[in-house]
Chains A and B, each alone.
Chain A
Amino acid sequence: MNEALEQRRSQLGLLARSPQADIAGHLASLGETPAWRWLRKPETGMVMLRGRVGGTGAQFNIGEATVTRCALRLNDGTVGVGYVRGRSARHAELIALCDALLQQPALAARVASTVLAPLAEAERQRHAQRAAEVAGSKVDFFTLVRGEDK
C-alpha cells in the first residue's frame, strides 16, 4: 500500500516537473483516451513552502508558490488528481488524466512506457545537460601551505 502511494507520488512529481507540451504529445501517441468529467475544475492558488535549515533544523516558511490543481473522474469511476506549480490549467488537467489512467490496471503499463518513460528520460537529460553546463564553472578551492606553518 505504502509502496503504491510512493510510486504514485513520484509519478505525479515527474509529471509536474515535465513540460506540458511533452505530456500532451506522449498522451496523444497513446491513442484514444477514455471519456471523463470534472470533479474539481482547475483552480489556481497559493501554497506555503516550508523548509528546514540544513535539512534538519527548525521549520521555517520559505515563501509562497502559485499552484494549480484539479480533479477529474473517468466514466468508470477512477479519480485522478493533478497539482502543478504555475497557472497552467491545461497542465494540471493532463497530469490528472495521466494519474487516472495510471490507476487503471489495463492501461497502467502502457501509460508508464508511452508517457512516463520518455518523460523520465527527458528529465535525466535535462539534469545531465545542466550539470555539464555548470561543471565548466566549477572552482576547487585550496589553501597554499605557507612557510611559517612548518
Chain B
Amino acid sequence: MSQPTMNPSSMNLSSTSPLDLSRMQPGLADPVHDAQRCFRTVLEALSHPGRLHTLPVDVEHPAGLSPAQAAILLALADYDTPVWLPLASRNGDAGRYLRFHCGCPLVDTQQGTPIDAPIGVRIDAPIDAPIDAQFVVLDGLSTLPALDTLRLGDPAYPDRSATVLVDVPALQADGPLKLRGPGIRDTQALGVAGWTPATSAWLADNHARFPLGADLILSCGDRIVGLPRTTLVEV
C-alpha cells in the first residue's frame, strides 16, 4: 500500500484504550500463506473485472464483516491503511477485530467541507465520511457514499485512492450487467443483487474521473468480484 497522506488529528485514536478481547475471534489460520492466497485472489479479481473468484481461506468473521471482507482486510490492512466502517460495526466486534488483527486505524467522524460546497461556505457540522480511508467497508450497494467523500487519489498518485468493499446479497456469473474495459476480452456478464440505476450512475461518474477514482470489490459470502475504475458497466 502506498504511504497515505493523512492528517493524524483526524484519525480515531481510540487504539490507546484497552481492547476488549472477550469475544475476539481467531485471524487467519496460516497468516503468511493465507494472506498471500487472499492477495493473489484480489489481484486476479481486479485484473479480470466481473469474473467471480472464491477466496481460498476459511475465516471466522465477526459481526459487521462478511467472510470475504474479513479475509481481504486481514490480508491487506495494516497500521498505515486507515479503514472506514459503518459506525455500529466500528464500535462493535468488527472494529475490535480489525484493531486486534490488523492494527489499522479506524477512520472516525471528522470536521470537513464537502468538495462540492460553494466557495466560501464552510460546513462545520461533522460528517461521517470516509475521506481518509484507504479501505471502505459497506453493506449493500445502497450505502455507497457520494464519490467526493471518498479518497480518489491525486493526479500524480492515482493509486492513493480508496478501495471500497461492498457486501451484496447475491452475485451471479450471468446477469443483466454487461462489463467492458481492460481485463475483459469482449464483454463480461454479471448479476448483482441490489443493483439500481443509481449504482450505474455512481460507477459511470467514477469511471469518468479516470485516472482518479475508487476501486470496488463486491463480495457475497466468500466470493468476490472486482470492479476497478477502468471498467464500463452497461445494464
Contact = CB atoms under 8 A, between A and B. Distances in A.
Interface of A: 37-41, 43, 71, 73, 77, 79, 81
Nearest to A37: B26
A36 to B, nearest CB: 11
B31 A79 contact: no
Contacts of A79: 21-22, 24
Contacts of A81: 21
Contacts of A73: 24, 26
B100 interface: yes
Smallest CB-CB A-B distances: 4 pairs: A79-B21, A39-B26, A39-B24, A38-B26
Nearest to B101: A40
Interface string B12-45: 0000000001101111000100000000000000
A35 to B, nearest CB: 14
Nearest to B23: A77
Contacts of A77: 22
Prevailing SS type, chain A contact patch: strand
A7 to B, nearest CB: 16
B78 to A, nearest CB: 12
B22 A40 contact: no
Contacts of A39: 21, 24-27, 100
Interface of B: 21-22, 24-27, 31, 100-101
Contacts of B24: 39, 71, 73, 79
A71 B31 contact: no
B72 to A, nearest CB: 18
Given A38-B26, A39-B26, A39-B27, 4 more contacts: A37-B26, A71-B24, A73-B24, A79-B21
Nearest to A71: B21
A41 B30 CA distance: 8
A81 B24 CA distance: 13
A85 B166 CA distance: 40
A78 to B, nearest CB: 9
Nearest to A72: B26
A81 B27 CA distance: 15
Contacts of A37: 26
A79 B96 CA distance: 14
Contact of A43 (B21, B31, B100): B31
Contacts of B26: 37-40, 73
A73 B101 CA distance: 14
Contacts of A38: 26
Contacts of A71: 21, 24, 100
A150 B235 CA distance: 106
5 contacts: A39-B21, A39-B24, A43-B31, A73-B24, A73-B26
A41 B31 contact: yes
A40 to B, nearest CB: 6
Contacts of B21: 39, 71, 79, 81
